[in-house]
Amino acid sequence: MNNFSFFNNTKIIFGEGQIAQLTQEIPADATVMIVYGGGSIKKNGIFEQVTSALEGMKWIEFGGIEPNPHYDTCMKAVEQVKTANVDFLLAVGGGSVIDATKFIAAAAKHQGDAWEIIQSFGGAVQGALPVGCVLTLAATGSEMNPTSVVTRADTQDKLFFNSDYVRPRFSILDPQTTYSLPARQVGNGVVDSFVHVLEQYVTYPVNAKVQDRFAEGLLSTILEDGPKALTDPQNYDVRANLMWAATMALNGLIATGVPGDWATHLIGQEITGLYGLDHGQTLAIVMPAVWTYKLEQKREKLAQYGRRVLGITEADDLIAAEKAIVRTREFFEAMGVRTRLADYDLGADVIPQVVAKLEQHQFVQLGEHGDITPADAAKILELAL
């Protein structure tokens, strides 16, 4: 096991009816900005639950956060934060809304050009408004981590930053809020959380037994209950298990003491930045290709994953690993998320564009060994055509 530090001080309030707890978590004299996305929360009753809980407090709203939230949209929110003297940000939505809220929180306190926050990967953040969350989609894990991903539409850059200042103070997770999600978002969310676990698990063995088994437990849960969320969308236990699994998948816990890959995420982000594919779609395209390209290095952990999670009984590691890749692709497809560039009308001509973006962003040493260069990424994408 590798040395590590672990710290996570986000309070989780989980279960049906917990949105009413908001009053306990936000200072009574705060001026709150409710940040949300396309407005579905106004149709499904969540906005009403939130504003009922905030009754008697001062609040304003800022809607219209896009999937892959735009820097320009966030900066408009920052203006309103300053005008209205907002001192608490409440994200109501999925990962995009929470990521945007984190950026708004940091940008509202930032001196100078807010894009420095991204360019410094968060190092330039010296403070932030407090952030709370009401989660409505099991997917990104943003509700319990210090990470945010923001997209600059004009330059097609989708980039992340990390800062302890933007960790949510609390996140309310009511599985019922996910009942009305469209199948496409359910599928993307399941793939996203599944891939988060895999990025921290399918690397090379370091004899970290707790971390491996926690990762396998999350994978088994998502594998079992993911498809049920499509066929039985109002099953509370299914939604609850997926929601808790997604939060645990990227809150730092299973990353402790083990290597991380993240090549799939970083290559996938460039595809979203350039062509607008959903985040989950890019992961489903890239991960099987990364694994095929790095089969020899990842053989042992792929075989372990195949045997412990997928029930593969093959004794030979290499064959078990190959079967695990096939089965993973089948799972993504079963969740309605296609796994080839061609499925999205993209061809080999995208490869040099993605490579150029990776070089521009200096993502030139990817993977758990730091040995995936942009030239390797090109070969990986050829396997994903």
What are the structure tokens assigned to 36, written together? 């949300």
Q: Does 18 bind a copy of itself (CB under 8 A)?
A: yes
Q: How many CB atoms lie within 10 A of CB 45?
A: 14
Q: Could you give the CA distance from residue 240 to residue 245 in angstroms, rounded to a whole number? A: 8
Sketch the per residue contact string, 212 through 231, with a copy of itself: x for CB under 8 A, - otherwise.
Answer: xxx-xxx-xx--xx------
CB of 3 or CB of 83, closer to a copy of itself: 3
Out of 112, 209, 296, 362, the only residue in the binding site for a copy of itself (CB under 8 A) is 209
How far apart are alpha carbons 48 and 72 in whole angstroms?
A: 27
Dmax (CA) for the chain in angstroms is 65
Alpha carbon distance 222, 225 (integer Å)? 5
- Distance set, CA 359 to CA 156, 294, 355 (Å): 14, 21, 6
Q: Which stretch binds a copy of itself (CB under 8 A): 63-71, 201-209, 336-344, 365-373?
A: 201-209
Among 73, 241, 304, 339, indicate the residue that binds a copy of itself (CB under 8 A): 241
Binding of a copy of itself by 7 (CB under 8 A): yes
Q: What gap in Å lies between CA 358 and CA 188, rounded to an integer?
A: 23
Which of 208, 258, 372, 384: binder of a copy of itself (CB under 8 A)?
208
Measured from the CB atom, is 18 or 68 closer to a copy of itself?
A: 18
Binding to a copy of itself by residue 6, rule CB under 8 A? Answer: yes
Q: Per rule CB under 8 A, is residue 11 in the interface with a copy of itself?
A: yes
The rounded Cα 146 to chain-centroid distance in angstroms is 11
Cα torsion at 333, 335, 341, 345 (round to 10°)?
Answer: 110
Structure tokens at 29: 């004299």
Quick check: 240 binds a copy of itself (CB under 8 A)? yes
Specify the stretch interacting with a copy of itself by CB under 8 A; choose among 15-23, 37-45, 132-140, 195-203: 15-23
Instruction: Give CA–CA dist 243/137, Å, rounded.
Output: 8
Q: Which stretch binds a copy of itself (CB under 8 A): 16-24, 28-36, 131-139, 270-278?
A: 16-24
Work out how close the CB of 163 gets to a copy of itself at its nearest, in angstroms, rounded to a whole number.
Answer: 16
The one segment of 81-89, 126-134, 250-258, 318-326 that binds a copy of itself by CB under 8 A? 250-258
Give Cα separations from 175 to 56, 180, 231, 280 (angstroms): 26, 11, 16, 20
* Of residues 253 and 277, the one with the C-beta less far from a copy of itself: 253
Identity (one letter) of the amino acid at 144?
M
121 binds a copy of itself (CB under 8 A): no
Q: Please tell me whether residue 3 binds a copy of itself under the rule CB under 8 A.
A: yes
245 contacts a copy of itself (rule: CB under 8 A) = yes
Residue linked to tokens 């959903």: 278
Q: What is the C-alpha to C-alpha distance for residues 318 and 327, in angstroms, rounded to an integer?
A: 14
DSSP state of 288: H
Min dist CB 294 to a copy of itself, Å, is 24
Question: Does 313 engage in binding with a copy of itself (CB under 8 A)?
Answer: no
Binding site for a copy of itself (CB under 8 A): 1-18, 207-214, 216-218, 220-221, 224-225, 237, 240-241, 244-245, 248, 253, 256-257
